[in-house]
């Protein structure tokens, strides 16, 4: 085994590019031939001996243009040349025989030597194949991932979900929360943003076997038809779905059917699957934006982070607020930090795990001083923000199993005990043109029934539109 230190560009410590040899192709700028002189005669005694060997028909001095790092190791000492007609073992342990030369015959010219023609390098793996290989590696040991240019600005948990779709999102959050991920050597937080070139160290993990049934053409066709029936807006870069009540956006414990899984049915010929750029609670209906390309997903996600996306929600709440239009500003933290879907509570400024949450609200209409139609404009996007804020001002949303706690309150007849919260409208800059995309969703069936029963007019002017943007 060679003890020669590895060449620059071909060493074992050099990161491998997906689908390529260490350091690039041979002969390239970062390849194995990068350090060789491009011109000039070879004048060493060793080179002269190699040329003489070639002239004699010996193959010891030949070198393939597609040399590997093993081929470039220091040459072994050559054994003594065997007598004509004798056998010798070559470097692979095989036996070669040479015919005794006849008088006047050049042994090296007795028969033409075959010259290996270098084969074309195999085509590089597709992104899907790269992801599958990365998933296999994740299950076997530690690996280090490099953030690509089209992953700029991604949250660390979204990055891990995109790279390893087999991992449930709740499991991803648990990995990050426990500090098992390192970004450039530092412990990562779930909301950390990544930049191109960053190094993400992933620990050894045992991937769960997929619990879903194998996909088939008929199932994909049904899922695709279902998603197309929900489309409120669509172009080449994005679409807006009218997410129904009760359909989860992402998978979790015991959740088999969800939007993220259904989007597999819309995977294009190029292997690109539409991507989520934000979330809605399972029981919240309305506008859900989907990116069709990786670049669109990155651009739309930045719009949400910069608060360039404006959202309006409608809700049916208990009681009538004394202040018809107002501003709710609190800090929110999870009651159970280890639970991804835990109830949020109002926290103090500076408390560990607390984030600022800001919401504007306006009362659009009310019924018998018992129920109110409230319109919300969230400025921030915290977990359960509107549900927690509605409960905080004493007017929880009807049908909310987590935050509704009004004593001696009875649900009026004809109104279903389901969460009455709708992502009514969203306005966001188009990811390619920058022009605003303005989409509104209709009331889901259970809310439409309540609106009709209470005499609310869904076409009435919404005063929350005039609320500030920050």
Distances (CA, A) of 430 to 50, 155, 280: 65, 21, 20
* pLDDT tops 90 at residue 292: yes
Indicate if 47 belongs to the active site.
no
Active-site position among 223, 281, 400, 462: 281
Q: Is residue 415 helix, strand or coil?
A: coil
d(CA 293, CA 125): 19
Which residue ranges does the chain devote to CATH 3.10.290.10? 128-202
Contact by Cβ (8 Å): 298, 150: yes
Contact by Cβ (8 Å): 9, 23: yes
d(CA 220, CA 239): 19
- The CATH architecture assigned to 307-466 reads 2-Layer Sandwich (3.30)
What integer best gives the mean pLDDT of the chain?
76
Q: In 3D, which of 294, 266, 265 has the Cα closest to residue 163?
A: 294
CATH of domain 217-291: 3.30.2350.10
pLDDT for the residue 429: 96
Q: Residues 399-445: pLDDT tens digits?
A: 999 999 888 888 888 899 999 999 999 999 999 999 999 999 999 99
Contact by Cβ (8 Å): 312, 362: no
Distances (CA, A) of 392 to 175, 193, 328: 32, 31, 9
pLDDT for the residue 430: 96
Contact by Cβ (8 Å): 398, 314: no
CATH of domain 128-202: 3.10.290.10
Structure tokens at 441: 């969703």
Which residue ranges does the chain devote to CATH 3.30.2350.10? 217-291, 307-466
d(CA 233, CA 438): 9
Whole-prediction pTM value? Answer: 0.61
d(CA 35, CA 23): 13
Contact by Cβ (8 Å): 61, 51: yes
Q: Residues 59-83: pLDDT tens digits?
A: 444 444 433 433 334 444 555 555 5
Residue whose tokens read 């959740």: 255
Q: Residues 144-191: pLDDT tens digits?
A: 888 887 777 777 877 877 777 667 667 777 777 777 788 888 888 777
DSSP code for 446? H
């Amino acid at each position: 085994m060679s003890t020669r230190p590895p060449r620059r560009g071909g060493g074992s410590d050099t990161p491998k590019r997906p689908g390529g040899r260490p350091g690039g192709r041979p002969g390239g700028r970062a390849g194995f031939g990068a350090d060789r002189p491009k011109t000039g005669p070879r004048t060493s005694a060793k080179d002269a001996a190699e040329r003489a060997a070639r002239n004699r028909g010996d193959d010891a001095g030949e070198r393939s243009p597609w040399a590997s790092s093993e081929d470039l190791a220091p040459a072994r000492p050559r054994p003594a040349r065997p007598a004509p007609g004798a056998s010798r073992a070559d470097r692979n342990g095989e036996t070669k025989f040479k015919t005794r030369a006849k008088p006047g015959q050049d042994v090296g010219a007795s028969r033409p030597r075959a010259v290996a023609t270098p084969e074309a390098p195999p085509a590089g793996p597709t992104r899907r194949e790269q992801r599958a290989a990365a998933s296999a590696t994740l299950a076997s040991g530690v690996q280090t991932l490099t953030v690509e240019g089209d992953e700029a600005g991604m949250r660390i948990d979204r990055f891990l979900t995109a790279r390893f779709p087999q991992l449930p999102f709740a499991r991803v959050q648990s990995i990050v929360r426990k500090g098992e991920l390192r970004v450039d050597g530092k412990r990562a937080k779930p909301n950390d943003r990544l930049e191109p070139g960053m190094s993400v160290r992933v620990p050894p993990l045992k991937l769960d076997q997929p619990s879903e049934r194998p996909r088939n053409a008929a199932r994909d066709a049904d899922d695709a038809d279902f998603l197309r029936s929900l489309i409120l807006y669509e172009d080449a870069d994005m679409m807006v779905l009218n997410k129904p009540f009760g359909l989860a956006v992402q998978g979790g414990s015991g959740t088999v059917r969800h939007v993220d899984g259904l989007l597999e049915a819309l995977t294009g010929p190029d292997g690109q699957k539409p991507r989520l750029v934000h979330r809605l609670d399972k029981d919240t209906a309305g506008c859900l934006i989907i990116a069709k390309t990786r670049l669109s997903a990155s651009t739309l996600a930045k719009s949400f982070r910069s608060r360039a996306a404006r959202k309006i929600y409608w809700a049916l709440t208990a009681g009538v607020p004394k202040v018809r239009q107002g501003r709710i500003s609190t800090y929110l933290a999870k009651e159970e930090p280890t639970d991804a879907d835990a109830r949020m509570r109002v926290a103090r400024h500076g408390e560990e795990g607390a984030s600022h949450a800001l919401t504007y609200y306006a009362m659009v209409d009310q019924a018998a001083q018992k129920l109110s139609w409230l319109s919300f404009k969230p400025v921030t996007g915290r977990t359960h923000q509107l549900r927690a804020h509605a409960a905080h001002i004493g007017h929880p949303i009807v049908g909310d199993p987590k935050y509704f706690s009004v004593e001696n309150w009875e649900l009026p007849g004809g109104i279903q005990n389901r969460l009455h919260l709708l992502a009514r409208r969203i306005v966001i800059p188009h990811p390619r043109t920058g022009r605003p995309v303005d989409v509104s969703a209709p009331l889901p069936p259970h809310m439409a029934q309540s609106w009709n029963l209470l005499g609310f007019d869904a076409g009435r002017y919404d005063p929350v539109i005039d609320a500030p943007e920050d």
